[in-house]
Amino acid sequence: MFFFSFLLLLIPLVSSTSRHSMHRMRKVHTRAVDTTLLTGQWDSVHAGQYSLFNDLWDEKNATWGSQESQITSFDGSNIGWTTTYTWTGGSQVKTFANVQLNNGINQQLSAISSMPTNWQWTQSTNEVVADVAYDLFTSGSPGGSNVNEIMVWLASINSGPISAEYNAEGQAVPIVTNISLEGYTWDLYSGFNGVNQVYSFLLTSGVINSFSGDIYPFLSYLIDNKDISSTQYLTCAQGGTEVISGTAQFTTSSYSLAVN
Ligand SMILES: *[C@@H]1O[C@H](CO)[C@@H](O)[C@H](O)[C@H]1NC(C)=O
Ligand SMILES: *[C@@H]1O[C@H](CO)[C@@H](O)[C@H](O)[C@H]1NC(C)=O
């Protein structure tokens, strides 16, 4: 008799526990994602630690064009998005649709140990002038004005970095060649964009459509070998595509970045 009532008590307990965990699992899989289509120059939308910016910062350099961006997925650490664009005219970068990390920012570089990341992306065509890159900024104070910009290009699509020196063919001349970092070989370019110093790491050849690694070694390379002080603050960490001209759909199926 005692045993029987114990079992009766147990049954509702077990079933309510499994209902609870099923509910929690379902919540993870259907995490609400704001899929608002961004069309305006400064439109943005947020997902957890990330913000997606359409960022048509120099659209006035184009004769005409438009660009739309949209989050497609978010699971708590990985975000997916698409950017569809068409830009004609002008020789300057028009836009930088990007995902910005909002957690762990405004720390001194010396306080950072790693910046793990993954990025899987594709683009509908290479008949454009664009790049796909991480874009980091440092400053002398938290949230202060930009002193250094550090770019890590996963693709240079008929495009080139800012450089203090160009060869007779008009191509940027690297300041260091054949740097081995994160399993790839890079050339480093440096130049001033009128506001801040820009350091750009470009692959010596090819494109990375699927990157998994650490971005911090690019910063520590510049601390150890160039003029970036480890007392500088990381004020901004973004990844996206800079577009000069062309028509394409850029698709990131998965992107993550963290600062440790
Ligand atoms: C776009 O930028 C280029 C290079 O700076 C400049 O020569 C051109 O006048 C600009 N066009 C417009 C429409 O602003
Ligand atoms: C960089 O590496 C390439 C390929 O191995 C080689 O041909 C080239 O000479 C190297 N450049 C320098 C400056 O070491």
Alpha-carbon dihedral sign for residues 142, 145, 150, 151: positive
Confidence at 18, pLDDT banded by 50, 70, 90: very low
User: Model confidence at 208, in pLDDT bands (50, 70, 90)?
Assistant: very high
**Cα 178 to averaged position of ligand 2 atoms, centre (Å):** 6
**Is the CB of 90 within 6 Å of ligand 1?**
yes
pLDDT of residue 31: 63
Question: How far apart are alpha carbons 70 and 75 in whole angstroms?
Answer: 15
- Residue of the CA atom closest to atom 9 of ligand 2: 178
Query: What is the rounded distance in angstroms from the CA atom of residue 183 to the CA atom of residue 206?
Result: 13
**Active-site residue identified among 68, 127, 182, 242:** 242
pTM (predicted TM-score): 0.88
**Per-residue confidence (pLDDT) for residue 227, from 0 to 100:** 85
Q: How far is the centre of ligand 1, averaged over its atoms, from the C-alpha of 176 (Å)? A: 30
Q: Is 242 a catalytic residue?
A: yes
**pLDDT exceeds 50 at position 106:** yes
Residue 52: name the closest of 78, 81, 87, 94 by CA: 81
Per-residue pLDDT tens over the stretch 36-52: 999 999 999 999 999 99
Is 59 annotated in the active site?
A: no
- The residue whose CA is least distant from atom 8 of ligand 1 is 90
Report the mean per-residue pLDDT for the chain: 91
pLDDT at 11 exceeding the cut of 50: no
